[in-house]
Amino acid sequence: MTDPNAIQPSELDQLPDRDPEETAEWQASLDAVTKAAGPHRAAYLMRRTLERAEGAGIALPKLLETDYVNSIPTSAEPAVPGDEAMEQRITAWNRWNAAAMVTRGSKYGVGGHIATFASAAWLYETGFNHFFKGKEADGSGDQLYIQGHASPGIYARAFLDGRLNEEQLDNFRRESGGNGLPSYPHPRRLPWLWEFPTVSMGLGPLSAIYQARFNRYLTNRGIKDTSASHVWAFLGDGEMDEPESTAALALAAREELDNLTFVINCNLQRLDGPVRANFKIVQELEAQFRGAGWNVIKTLWGTAWDELFQLDTTGALVRRLRQVPDAQIQTYQTRDAAYIRQDFFGADPALVEMAKLLSDDKILECFHLSRGGHEARKVYAAYKAAVEHKGAPTVILAQTVKGHTLGEGFASKNANHQMKKLSVDEFKDMRDLLGLPIKDSDFVDGVVPYGHPGADSPEVRYLQERRATLGGPAPTRRVHPVAPLPAPAQKAFASFDKGSGSQNVATTMAFVRLVKDLVRDKETGKRWVPIVPDEARTFGMESLFPSLGIYSPKGQTYEPVDRDQLMYYKEAKNGQILNEGITEAGSMADFIAASTSYATHGETMIPFYIFYSMFGWQRTADQMWQLGDQLGRGFLVGATAGRTTLTGEGLQHADGHSPVIAATNPAALTYDPAFAYEVATIVKDGLRRMYGEAAPDEDQNVFYYLTVYNEPLPQPEKPSAAGVDEGIVKGLYRFNTAESAGITPPANAPRIQLLGSGTAIHWALKAQRLLAEEWGVAADVWSATSWSELRRDALEADAALLRGEERVPFVRQALQGAEGPVLAVSDYMRQVPDQIAQWVEQDWSSLGADGFGLSDTREAARRHFGVDAESIVVAALAQLAGRGEVKAVSVKEAREKYGL
């Protein structure tokens, strides 16, 4: 009996039903189909109806999952325009040489991966022959993010093309001799070939999205027309578990990046075993991408399956394919026809009948070999559909077999990611399968030979002709001959030399003011790319909104709530600022794309990315390594820096260690400037080194990390002494002496050298006065703008000495003759200043903010960590007492006096 109080289906919809009778008829039709033909037929009809509605543009939620079949049926596949037989032979050579390279290198124990490329060979070959545009094509060519573990296959193709030789292949993963090949795509190690480093999993997909987005940014700002460039990212299904892999999917769909295609090699295996042992990774990814707004193309089954699908008049086959978990699909790959008949077909009476029509050979062909990702025709159809799709990015889910063509010992085995070699017999079986003209006698002393059809062979000519048609070799990194950027007007930098007088100015605000002046420069202003993760107002950058605009491909389709204010929120299609929302990872991906535009697009851009210093290196240090690997240039700015300057925020926001992490990156030049004029001097030199006329011995492929503070303090005038600029850039200069500071210590007073960086120099200056006025000690104060650059210079000096060259570290030169011991202090852990301790000839001691941060006032936090002026005085007296230059009792008296 129906409950009269129960909620009826029509009541679940807030919208009124204008024709309840018609609605009831549709529902009754569905009930009738379900009763007459079963729920599977009803579901089929509903799915097809929804697909029809979607195709007609009717506003309905999209299907998140489709059947476990190809999105493009065989009847709709276009013919491959090239010579498929020729491409088959080229792919065979590439498969062979990729496996040979890794196997030959195994005797050195350097490792390598064979199975990944074996599964993805056709995914790459089809692209190289028909889609991937080279650097000589229109615009900048395509950008290719190659799956890191597939690098042997890319090297093998470059060998066939004549871009690599046998010696280089033999030096795979052995680079120290100067003629080797890096293990994975590394632009810093092989800069003429690799454009993007991708083996740190998850960063490739994230970077590809922001690269495609940055291409649009360049076009919309009128810097360069990149409309002919397409971004291709080759990824693994296991890699998609990395949070970075899917972090920006919504951005790509929201901004309609149809210049972007993801190709996910769904071989169903990760490093240790199945990606989704009890589930289906393809279906999961389809739902995820469809839900984010992407166009999804599934390329799962090869042509051998066509006969099976034609026999599936009841839908039993499609249902069974959806039911079988991925791990069982792998098992079928390794079992005989009898097992598959029983386990797969035996699960449904309709499938039992179907199996009677199939020979064992047919079953094995389907379940062992026939995957969509292994057939040029299937892959070509997917790629063509992807590049022709407009209004959304495309993901191609291509099913393959990991270890395909490598023999029964490899295919779909859980351990194949760690398997580094094939035996001679396995190579011979592979040779026979691929039909390669390699003789048994070519295996000399059991060493597998490389194979090459000859520089003038039909295969090589075909390969090179196809690449010439598409715009030259690929992948290729090409640094276009671009003239150095002219230096901005000196006025922008010199304005900071006179100081701020009585006005308190934080160095964060000084940096923002400097950028405001630099973006107005007629020559280089348009090349600045300000990047901020939704903290522009925190850093005082809102004044840039109306003048530069925030980039949005849609422009501004609304009237901002603050339109009547001077600094209103202005979005624009040609906006210059990239305000990414709350995503440091996305902001870093922006930065990497902009910082390498000089190579990718032949357009030099000057990115600066400003962020809470705590949320930079700690959160996205892997991307900073990617930045260095990709030879990026620009300015990273850690704002609200230090462990004690951000009042009240506490542990999560208190950065006491970012310079330590930054010091581990060889491409990072880390500075902790104390004053506004130091910020200006460092930025000026950075522009010269990275974008201007760099000195011959300088590496231009570096990036700068500047820490700036939110604490408003008086900004002093730049000292007029000689060598100040050199000291700022190299990391150390004397800011003042006790005498030049107007302090008159007693005659023959003990002397100490106080080294401070960043905001800590203000505590040192106060301590300088206390030491003189209350304890009769003369102190000189030095500004240590870069502890890590001082260390880098000292390490280079040590290396020079080992080569027999006489060289004195700059820190030792600068402190030469300075009287007394050295006491260093910063707003970071002591490890930061202690980087240079071993090269300082004077007695050394340091103070720092070690440990966890805490919420309190600046003064209380500094007292807690023992880095305030009074703590510096006590530490200085203790150091001098240890040398017998002050009475030991003075240390106790000072502690009591200051309440320490």
Average pLDDT for residues 289-318, to the nearest whole number?
95
- Three-class secondary structure of residue 4 per DSSP: coil
Question: In the structure, what pLDDT confidence band is assigned to residue 220 with cuts at 50, 70 and 90?
Answer: very high
Sorted by sequence, the CB contacts under 8 Å of residue 109 that are 6+ apart come out as: none
CB 702 within 8 A of CB 667: yes
Question: In the structure, what pLDDT confidence band is assigned to residue 299 with cuts at 50, 70 and 90?
Answer: very high
Question: For residue 385, is pLDDT > 50?
Answer: yes
The residues pairing with 398 across neighbouring beta strands, listed in sequence order, are 265, 299
Rounded Cα–Cα distance for residues 396 and 47 (Å): 21
Question: In the structure, what pLDDT confidence band is assigned to residue 2 with cuts at 50, 70 and 90?
Answer: very low
Rounded Cα–Cα distance for residues 469 and 558 (Å): 45
Specify the higher pLDDT residue, 1 or 732.
732
Tokens standing for residue 625: 């390594």
Rounded Cα–Cα distance for residues 417 and 415 (Å): 6
CB 640 within 8 A of CB 538: yes
User: Residue 802's pLDDT is what?
Assistant: 94
User: Residue 745's pLDDT is what?
Assistant: 83
CA-nearest of 80, 231, 99, 233 to 159 is: 99
Q: By percentage, how much of the chain surpasses pLDDT 70?
A: 97
Average pLDDT for residues 41-54, to the nearest whole number?
84
Q: How many CB atoms lie within 10 A of CB 161?
A: 17
User: Residue 258's pLDDT is what?
Assistant: 98
Q: What is the DSSP string of 641-654?
A: -SSSSSTTT-GGG-
Rounded Cα–Cα distance for residues 121 and 544 (Å): 49
Average pLDDT for residues 301-313, to the nearest whole number?
95
Question: For residue 11, is pLDDT > 70?
Answer: no
**Sign, CA torsion 295/301/306/311:** negative
H helices present in 273-313, as ranges: 281-292, 306-311
Question: For residue 332, is pLDDT > 80?
Answer: yes
Q: How many CB atoms lie within 10 A of CB 267?
A: 30
**Which run of H or of E encompasses 532?**
strand 528-532
Tell me the residue ranges of DSSP E strands in 672-769: 703-707, 713-714, 733-736, 751-756
Average pLDDT for residues 18-25, to the nearest whole number?
87
User: Residue 652's pLDDT is what?
Assistant: 79
Tokens standing for residue 455: 């520089």
Question: For residue 7, is pLDDT > 50?
Answer: no
HSE, side-chain direction, 13 A CA sphere, residue 12: 4
pTM: 0.94
Rounded Cα–Cα distance for residues 772 and 750 (Å): 10
Rounded Cα–Cα distance for residues 785 and 760 (Å): 11
CA-nearest of 709, 760, 788, 786 to 866 is: 760
Average pLDDT for residues 829-848, to the nearest whole number?
97
Tell me the residue ranges of DSSP E strands in 534-604: 550-551, 571-572, 578-579
Residue 712 amino acid letter: P
Rounded Cα–Cα distance for residues 888 and 900 (Å): 16
The model's pLDDT over 546-563, given as tens digits with 9 standing for 90+, comes to 999 999 999 999 999 988
Rounded Cα–Cα distance for residues 2 and 509 (Å): 70
The residues pairing with 394 across neighbouring beta strands, listed in sequence order, are 261, 295
Rounded Cα–Cα distance for residues 453 and 71 (Å): 37
User: Residue 883's pLDDT is what?
Assistant: 95
Average pLDDT for residues 157-169, to the nearest whole number?
97
The model's pLDDT over 86-118, given as tens digits with 9 standing for 90+, comes to 999 999 999 999 999 999 998 888 988 888 999
Residue 405 amino acid letter: T
Rounded Cα–Cα distance for residues 313 and 786 (Å): 74
**Which run of H or of E encompasses 262?**
strand 260-266
Question: For residue 209, is pLDDT > 80?
Answer: yes
The model's pLDDT over 780-823, given as tens digits with 9 standing for 90+, comes to 999 999 999 999 999 999 999 999 999 999 999 999 999 999 99
Rounded Cα–Cα distance for residues 766 and 768 (Å): 5
Q: How many CB atoms lie within 10 A of CB 345?
A: 21
- Three-class secondary structure of residue 756 per DSSP: strand
What is the pLDDT of the chain when averaged over all its residues?
93
User: Residue 15's pLDDT is what?
Assistant: 65
Q: Name the pairing type of β-strands 504-505 and 713-714.
A: antiparallel
Tokens standing for residue 112: 């390598």
User: Residue 303's pLDDT is what?
Assistant: 96
User: Residue 8's pLDDT is what?
Assistant: 44
Rounded Cα–Cα distance for residues 309 and 14 (Å): 42
Question: For residue 650, is pLDDT > 50?
Answer: yes
The model's pLDDT over 485-540, given as tens digits with 9 standing for 90+, comes to 999 999 999 999 999 998 999 999 999 999 999 999 999 999 999 999 988 888 88
Question: For residue 691, is pLDDT > 50?
Answer: yes
> Which DSSP symbol is given to 444?
B
